[in-house]
């Protein structure tokens, strides 16, 4: 350094020493201005987000959380990537808002991806923010909620983006069955981000704006030549009705986030705590005359099992999971006498309530989730069997049916079975029968429990006699009546201890409420093994 340069440096230092340091108020004001700028975002980007019919990340958090409860973490965090012009673009938050708040006064941890910053893409800093709140959620035993609106991995950060996803997935798995994990898709959720949706306990999607897929339409066309839209590839219709990935589907963000709040109210904070209870409703003395009218005595006549469910639960109020996927089985959360339960029921309105590949998967995952979080199970049975056919057999009906069987056999929560009408073949066993460990098996007088229906049984047992008969129809009718009277009468299973009681349908709510109270302190059995091998 020359003498002249040294003089200039000394002079500048003298000036700096003479200038008084900023006051605390000045520092506070400057910091507050910075926070306000970060919170408001870039006006043009925010306007574009709203033009797409989407709210901003902060507006979504305001809808989801109790007013004034949100504590933001890492608001001023920025990426440290170099090259490709990234050093000139270092916005605060790095495209994700992360922190903690409350829902109905209960602690949750949450992140909301901000599409106005780098398209919500995930880079190193973005991922570390999500991982931080996931770690806090697990360490405090609090539900974890992710609001997704992202173009996927940030290409400019290369492998660090992929590493970030891996860290998130590892935490998804570590938290599985320990804290509830809820994934909400409010825009694109592409590439690696899609796996968080699959690993979560519940995924919500909003119609018209949500897209969930591993590879976008451009890649699909380049590789396969197939032209497909975003909606056709990974829209709500696909995941709500075909893939089964979306547990809940909504028309708008407001109703979606309201239902997230409702779901949280049904779930415990973690696997060591009980689900939140409401005041008791004197259900043990509640008689419901309409239950005797809903279900037809004729075993082949359809009805809506949801109507039965509505009569059994408090205020007729329940939250159905995967309503549009595998609708031949119903899975729902509800309350009886203020206590949360999980309900699995056959739906005679769809495919006569048979079990098939999709229904078995749906019910098995729901049973395992309820068992993981200590939620008692009520199973409403009216099942004619498994769906026959080569398509089902080739699709793995045996393997997928075994998932449901495995889930029930392994469940240690209180379990109550109500046989409403028919229960035939292996499907009877799988639907939480006494033989696989249900704690309380109840049946209505309309129950028919057998290997198969009377007509089918007669056709098998007496096929030679029927073939030789001069009037096979008359003989068949006589044999069906005899078979029904001997093996399908309403007390046959109860006489053998496979049903604990045949009850008046109108008393079902009260009997189930007493059963749940009886089983409330049921203890888990110790298992010496590390884990079983689920037929995945």
Active site residues: 191-192, 426-427
Is residue 290 within 8 A of residue 311, CB to CB? The reply is yes
DSSP 434: G
Handedness of CA 519, 499, 407, 278 (dihedral sign): negative
Query: What is the spatial distance between Cα 382 and Cα 428, in angstroms, rounded to a whole number?
Result: 9
What is the distance between the terminal CA atoms of the chain, rounded to a whole angstrom?
72
Q: Find all residues with CB under 8 Å of 351, minimum gap 6, and list them.
A: 328, 387
Closest CA to 520 of 406, 432, 416: 416
Rounded to the nearest angstrom, the gap between the alpha carbon of residue 66 and the centroid of all alpha carbons in its chain is 22
Rounded to the nearest angstrom, the gap between the alpha carbon of residue 50 and the centroid of all alpha carbons in its chain is 28
Rounded to the nearest angstrom, the gap between the alpha carbon of residue 332 and the centroid of all alpha carbons in its chain is 10
Q: Which two tokens stand for residue 147?
A: 């609001």
* Rounded to 5°, angle at Cα 370 from 365 and 375: 170
Closest CA to 50 of 1, 117, 115: 115
Closest CA to 449 of 499, 401, 405, 411: 499
Q: Tokens 């008359």 map to which residue? A: 474
Query: What is the spatial distance between Cα 211 and Cα 150, in angstroms, rounded to a whole number?
Result: 10
Q: Tokens 């409702």 map to which residue? A: 262
Query: What is the spatial distance between Cα 26 and Cα 29, in angstroms, rounded to a whole number?
Result: 5
Query: What is the spatial distance between Cα 372 and Cα 270, in angstroms, rounded to a whole number?
Result: 9
Query: What is the spatial distance between Cα 140 and Cα 102, in angstroms, rounded to a whole number?
Result: 13
């Amino acid at each position: 350094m020359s003498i002249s340069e040294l003089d200039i440096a000394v002079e500048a230092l003298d000036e700096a020493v003479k200038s008084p340091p900023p006051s605390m108020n000045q520092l506070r004001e400057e910091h507050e201005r910075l926070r306000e700028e970060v919170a408001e975002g870039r006006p043009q980007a925010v306007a574009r987000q709203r033009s797409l019919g989407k709210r901003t990340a902060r507006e979504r958090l305001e809808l989801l959380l109790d007013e004034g409860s949100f504590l933001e973490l890492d608001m001023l965090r920025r990426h440290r990537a170099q090259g490709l012009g990234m050093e000139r673009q270092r916005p605060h938050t790095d495209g994700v808002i992360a922190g903690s708040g409350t829902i109905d006064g209960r602690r949750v941890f949450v992140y909301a991806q901000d599409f106005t910053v780098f398209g919500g893409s995930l880079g190193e800093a973005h991922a570390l923010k999500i991982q931080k709140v996931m770690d806090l959620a697990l360490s405090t035993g609090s539900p974890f909620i992710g609001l997704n609106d992202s173009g996927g991995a940030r290409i400019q950060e290369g492998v660090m983006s992929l590493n970030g996803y891996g860290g998130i997935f590892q935490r998804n798995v570590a938290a599985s069955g320990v804290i509830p994990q809820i994934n909400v898709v409010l825009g694109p959720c592409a590439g690696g981000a899609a796996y968080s949706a699959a690993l979560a306990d519940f995924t919500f999607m909003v119609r018209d704006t949500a897209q969930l897929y591993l590879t976008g339409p451009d890649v699909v066309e380049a590789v396969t030549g197939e032209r497909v839209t975003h909606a056709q590839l990974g829209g709500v219709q696909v995941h709500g009705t075909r893939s089964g990935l979306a547990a809940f589907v909504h028309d708008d963000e407001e109703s979606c986030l309201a239902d997230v709040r409702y779901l949280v109210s049904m779930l415990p904070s973690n696997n060591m705590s009980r689900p939140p209870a409401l005041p008791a409703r004197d259900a043990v003395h509640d008689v419901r005359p309409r239950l005797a009218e809903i279900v037809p005595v004729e075993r082949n006549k359809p009805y809506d099992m949801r109507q039965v469910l509505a009569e059994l639960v408090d205020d007729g109020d329940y939250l159905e999971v995967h309503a549009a996927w595998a609708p031949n089985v119903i899975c729902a959360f509800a309350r009886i006498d203020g206590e949360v339960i999980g309900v699995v029921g056959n739906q005679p309105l769809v495919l006569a309530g048979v079990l098939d590949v999709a229904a078995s998967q749906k019910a098995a995952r729901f049973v395992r989730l309820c068992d993981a979080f200590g939620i008692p199970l009520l199973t409403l049975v009216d099942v004619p069997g498994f769906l026959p056919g080569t398509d089902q057999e080739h699709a793995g009906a045996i393997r997928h049916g075994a998932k449901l069987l495995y889930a029930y056999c392994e469940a240690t929560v209180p379990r109550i079975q109500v046989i409403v009408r028919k229960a035939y073949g292996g499907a009877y066993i799988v639907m939480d029968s006494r033989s696989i460990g249900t704690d309380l098996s109840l049946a209505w007088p309309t129950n028919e429990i057998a290997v198969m229906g009377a007509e089918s049984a007669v056709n098998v047992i007496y096929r030679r006699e029927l073939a030789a008969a001069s009037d096979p129809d008359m003989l068949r009718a006589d044999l069906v009546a005899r078979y029904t009277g001997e093996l399908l009468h309403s007390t046959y299973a109860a006489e053998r201890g496979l049903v604990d009681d045949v009850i008046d349908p109108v008393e079902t709510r009260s009997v189930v409420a007493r059963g749940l109270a009886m089983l409330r302190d049921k203890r888990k059995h110790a298992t010496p093994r590390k884990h079983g091998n689920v037929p995945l």
